[in-house]
Amino acid sequence: MKSKQAKQLIKAARKTAKENIQASLIANLTETIGKAGHGSKKLDKKIIKGAKLLAKKLAKDLVIDGGAVAVEQDKAEAAKTEQKAAVVVKPKKAVAKKDGTELPSVESPS
């Protein structure tokens, strides 16, 4: 694998990790605040801002193995090709003549 591709995969993995960390922090903190019964819009904004900053710091310190990311990427691509390989067969359509009689069924090109 080329160095540029590896860097792109690692960057994408870091970005998804950051988004996952941020979402889980926001969910857990808002749930905890909700249980206490002291929720407000101002507090929600602070939670979102703080979660974003903390997720950024944590994602920056993550050590991501490029080989493992490449293997996961290959598995995802293989799954996509399997889905494309499955051909969908459409039912045949009957074509009507102008005089009202029907022609034999004709398959539409796929």
Contacts of 94 (CB under 8 A, 6+ apart): 102, 103, 105
Please indicate, yes or no, if residue 70 is contained in any of the structural domains: yes
**What is the domain range of residue 38?**
3-85
Please indicate, yes or no, if residue 90 is contained in any of the structural domains: no
Please indicate, yes or no, if residue 100 is contained in any of the structural domains: no
Q: Please give the model's pTM, rounded to 2 decimal places.
A: 0.57
pLDDT for 28 equals 94
> What is the number of domains present in the chain?
1
Question: Could you read off the pLDDT tens digit of each residue along the chain, which spans 110 residues?
Answer: 577 887 888 888 889 999 999 999 999 999 998 888 877 889 999 999 999 999 999 998 888 777 666 666 667 677 667 666 665 556 666 666 666 666 665 565 55
pLDDT for 7 equals 83
E strand or H helix at 44 = helix 41-61
